[in-house]
A and B are shown apart, each in its own frame.
Chain A
Amino acid sequence: MTEEYDVEFVETGDRKARFLVRGVTPAFANGLRRAMVADVPTMAIDEVRFIENSSVMFDEQLALRLGLVPLTTPPEGEFVDGDTVTLSIDVEGPGTAYSGDLVSSDSLVQPAEDNVPIIDLKDDQRLEAEADALIERGKDHAKHQGGVAVGYRHLQRVEVEGDLPEFEDERSQIVRGVIEDDGELVPTSEFDDDLSNRYPGKEVSVEDVPNAFVFHVETDGSFTVDELVTRAVESLEARATELEEAVQL
């Protein structure tokens, strides 16, 4: 059995992209989506040792906030389960402690975003802490989720059926996602999601294209979209290999 897949990008970006995949079954598409959300490991702060916390928040609250700061995740193989990276933060009030104030001991693991506020410090308040970041999966805790907005829709084919009857009022026809018009891929945002803008005075029909899915993938900055998709596929592949080997025994 040979599989014929075809991937085409509609929108490209480091952290956000949209691409069309042809030839996949719904089961495979959903497996891929779920793997991106829950099975691709990312780094996140898991344990915090407070040296001084004279801010208005409890240690636990700050630990949660620190945990939610997205960290860049090193290439596969650099880290294994159980490895930690230490980050430290030392900020004195008045002022705000930002994620960018975290100093990492490893250049591969850095805050992906520098302007996440952690706590507003008043005069004489100080935050000094040391934190250990772990690599884990989104399944364990949402802070380890690399894909933050991952979903897919069917590609929709639009066909012009003919002209609207002469005296009929034009009605808006809302479609979201990406449409295929004579083989051309058009994001619906180009015509304000309304087919009556693109085909004024025409009667059109819309239908899902079987086994063609438009994925929308956004990451939290831990890695690029390409990396997230590749790692998700690899996680599915690793499980298939494991099953194949386990069954042979």
Chain B
Amino acid sequence: MELRVTERTETELSIEIGGEDHTFMNVLKGTLLEHEDIAAATYDVNPEQSGGQTEPILTIKTEPGVDPIDALEEGAGNIRDKTTAFRNAFEAAV
């Protein structure tokens, strides 16, 4: 996973997440949107054949006073909470 920040202000961040596709990006976006301090989150991917930017770009807007990098870090942590919770629930059911 290679990260490259393409745009950054106090409450906005655009970051390229290399090597990922919809599988992870949509889970990430969905989780970020559940975060209280995140006002908007979206990602954009272009198809392989388009010849331009083909790595996904994640864009986050946060509420004033919240660093989008911190929010992203928390979002990634929240995915981990979800996967752990799912795995526990699944293993309990098997």
**Chain A contact residues, CB within 8 Å of chain B:** 1-9, 19, 21, 24-28, 30-32, 34-35, 38-39, 139, 226, 229-230, 233-234, 236-237, 239-244, 246-248
Task: Give the CA-CA distance A230 to B34 in the complex, in Å.
Answer: 24
Cβ of B8 under 8 Å from chain A: no
Contact yes or no, A24 B30, CB < 8 A: no
Contact yes or no, B90 A229, CB < 8 A: yes
Closest Cβ–Cβ distance, residue B71 to chain A (whole Å): 10
Known: A31-B24, A246-B1. A241 touches B80 (CB 8 A): yes
Beyond A28-B82, A248-B73: 15 further Cβ-contacts under 8 Å? A5-B89, A7-B86, A7-B92, A27-B27, A27-B31, A30-B27, A31-B24, A34-B22, A38-B23, A233-B83, A233-B86, A236-B23, A239-B1, A241-B76, A247-B76
Q: Which residues in window 64-90 of B have CB below 8 A to A?
A: 69, 72-73, 76-90
Cβ of B57 under 8 Å from chain A: no
How many A-B pairs have beta carbons closer than 8 Å: the answer is 109
Question: Interface majority SS on B: helix, strand, loop or mixed?
Answer: helix
Contact yes or no, A247 B69, CB < 8 A: yes
Cβ of B91 under 8 Å from chain A: yes
Determine which residue in A35, A233, A240 has the highest number of CB atoms from chain B within 10 A of its CB, and name it: A240
Q: Which residues of A contact B26 (CB under 8 A)?
A: 27, 30-31
Contact yes or no, B22 A233, CB < 8 A: no
Contact yes or no, B83 A9, CB < 8 A: no
Contact yes or no, B90 A236, CB < 8 A: no
Contact yes or no, B1 A233, CB < 8 A: no
Q: Which residues in window 20-37 of B have CB below 8 A to A?
A: 20-24, 26-31, 34
Q: Which residues of A contact B88 (CB under 8 A)?
A: 5
Task: Give the CA-CA distance A248 to B76 in the complex, in Å.
Answer: 11
Closest Cβ–Cβ distance, residue A78 to chain B (whole Å): 20
Chain B interfacial residues counted at CB < 8 A: 37
Contact yes or no, B89 A243, CB < 8 A: no
Q: Which residues of A contact B39 (CB under 8 A)?
A: none
Task: Give the CA-CA distance A35 to B28 in the complex, in Å.
Answer: 14
Task: Give the CA-CA distance A138 to B20 in the complex, in Å.
Answer: 14
**Chain B contact residues, CB within 8 Å of chain A:** 1, 3, 17, 20-24, 26-31, 34, 69, 72-73, 76-94
Of the candidates B30, B73, B89, the one whose C-beta lies within 8 Å of that of A6 is B89
Of chain A, the residue at the smallest CB distance from B93 is A7
Contact yes or no, B83 A236, CB < 8 A: yes
Closest Cβ–Cβ distance, residue B59 to chain A (whole Å): 15
| 19 A–B contacts, CB within 8 A, in A order | A3-B86, A5-B89, A7-B92, A9-B93, A28-B30, A28-B86, A30-B27, A31-B24, A34-B22, A236-B23, A240-B24, A240-B28, A240-B83, A241-B76, A241-B80, A242-B1, A247-B3, A247-B76, A248-B73
Of chain B, the residue at the smallest CB distance from A24 is B86
Known: A24-B86, A25-B30, A247-B72. A1 touches B23 (CB 8 A): no
Contact yes or no, B89 A237, CB < 8 A: no
Contact yes or no, A31 B92, CB < 8 A: no
Closest Cβ–Cβ distance, residue A137 to chain B (whole Å): 11
Q: Which residues of B contact A9 (CB under 8 A)?
A: 93-94
Q: Which residues of A contact B82 (CB under 8 A)?
A: 3, 24, 28
